[in-house]
Structure 1
C-alpha cells in the first residue's frame, strides 16, 4: 500500500488502529518513517496513529518534543574568545615567554569549550527525554470515540440482551461502552446493533473486535465493524 503522506494516512486510519492487521508491526514503522508529525487539526486520525506508533516503537522523534513539529532545540552559542594580545617586539626572550603563555591560554579555553559543549548536549538529551515522557503520558490519556456496528447470526436473537452481555464480558481499563444502542433493519428480518465505545490510546479497537467476533461471542455475532473513529 502506498501510504506516503499525512493526508493518505489520515484517510486510511479513519477506521483502523494499525497499518496492517490488528497489531503493531513493521508496516507501521515503515510508514512512520515516511511522514513527519501530522497536524492534529487537519489530520486527526493520522496524528492519533503517529503518536501511538512513536510510543510503541520508542522513537525519539524531535517533532514530538514540546517545541512542536519540526522544531529543533538550538544549543547556546559558544562564548567568543578574547582577542589575542600582541607581544612586544623587544626584548626577544620576553616576547617568546608571552607567546608561550598565550598558547596555554587558548588551550585552556578550547578545553573549557569542549566541556561546555558536552554539558549542553547532555542537558539537551535530558530535556528531550523529559518532553517525550510527558508527551507519552498525555497521549496515553487521550481518548477516541468509535462508532460500531454489530450484526447477529439469527433474526430472532435478542440484540439488547446480546449487547448487555458484551458490555458485561468485555471490560478493560480505558474502555467504556455506550449505555444506549440503536437497532437498525438489515434484511430478511435481521437487525444490527448501532453503538459507540470510548477507548484510550493504550487499547486497540480492532483487537477488541477480533476478541468478540472470533473468541467470546463467535456463536452469536456474525460480524462487528468500526464505521468511524474520532479524537475526543
Structure 2
C-alpha cells in the first residue's frame, strides 16, 4: 500500500482519489496518519485536486496541536490504497496485488493452446459466475455526514443561516439534527448532520451550495464522514 511519491503529480492524484469518499487518512477523526501524509507534501495540492485540497486545508488548521492528535505515526508507505508502490522509501510492490473480486483469475493461467473441452469449461464457469453476480441485490450506498458551518462573526444570524442551509433540497439528501457549538470570542458554528446517497449527492456539491449563502457562511468543513 502507499501513495507513491507525494511530491509528484501521480502521487497527488492517488491521494486525491483516495480522499474522494474519506475525510481523513484513517478513521473518522484527525490523527497521526494525517500528520504523516501532510508532512510528506511539498505544499497545497492544486485546485483541480479538490478532495486532496479540502483535506489539506482541514489538516492545516490542526498544525499547532498536531503533536496531540491520536494515534502513532507510522512509515508513510503504511498509509494509502493497496497496490501502490511506496517509491519514497523503496518499499512496496511496484506491480501491486489486485484483490478486487471482479478481477480474480477464475480459471488459472491460460495455456497457449487450449483444447475445445478447456474452452467449454471456461465458458461455463464464466457464465455461472456472471449469473451469480447478476442475482446480487443492488445496494444503495449512503453516507452519514456531520458538517461544521462557520459564520463570519458573532453578529451573524445563526437561525437564518440554518434556515438557508435547510432550503437546500436534493434527491438523495436528508437533513438531520443540528446544534450551535461555541468556537470562541462569542462566535458559534452550526453543526448539522445529513444522510446522502453517494451516487446522487457529492460532498463537494453540497459544500458549494452551502457556501453560496455568502452573507452568512464563511466556510464549511466535514467534521465526520461515515458509511451507512
TM-score, length of structure 2 as denominator length: 0.50
Query: How far 1:71 moved relative to its partner?
Result: 6.4
What is the rounded CA distance, in whole Å, between the counterparts of 2:51 and 2:132 in structure 1?
Answer: 31
Q: Any gaps of 5 or more consecutive residues in structure 1? A: 24-30, 36-60, 76-109
Change (3 A) 1:34 1:219: farther
Alignment of 1:197 onto 2:194: yes
Query: How far 1:189 moved relative to its partner?
Result: 2.0
Cα deviation, 1:93-150, whole Å, max 9, x if unaligned, reads: xxxxxxxxxxxxxxxxx54x1552353255156347627xx47x31xx1221111111
Alignment of 1:218 onto 2:214: yes
8 Å CA contact 1:159, 1:193 repeated in 2:
yes
8 Å CA contact 2:142, 2:195 repeated in 1:
yes
8 Å CA contact 2:164, 2:213 repeated in 1:
no
Query: How far 1:229 moved relative to its partner?
Result: 1.1
Aligned length: 146
What is the rounded CA distance, in whole Å, between the counterparts of 2:106 and 2:122 in structure 1?
Answer: 15
Query: Would you tell me which structure has more helix in proportion to its own residues?
Result: 1
Query: How far 1:3 moved relative to its partner?
Result: 3.0
* Aligned counterpart, 2:25: 12
Q: Any gaps of 5 or more consecutive residues in structure 2? A: 5-17, 30-48, 53-79, 85-97, 109-114
Q: 1:228 aligns with which of 204, 224, 228?
A: 224
Alignment of 1:117 onto 2:121: yes
Change (3 A) 1:191 1:124: same
Alignment of 1:63 onto 2:100: yes
Secondary structure of the structure 1 residue equivalent to 2:83: coil
* Aligned counterpart, 2:50: 21
8 Å CA contact 1:22, 1:207 repeated in 2:
no
Change (3 A) 1:33 1:128: farther
What is the rounded CA distance, in whole Å, between the counterparts of 2:205 and 2:192 in structure 1?
Answer: 17
Query: How far 1:184 moved relative to its partner?
Result: 1.8
Alignment of 1:150 onto 2:149: yes
Query: How far 1:190 moved relative to its partner?
Result: 1.6
TM-score, length of structure 1 as denominator length: 0.50
Give the 5 Å matches for 1:23-62: 34=83
Change (3 A) 1:171 1:116: same
Structure whose CA Rg is larger: 1
CA RMSD, 1 decimal: 3.8
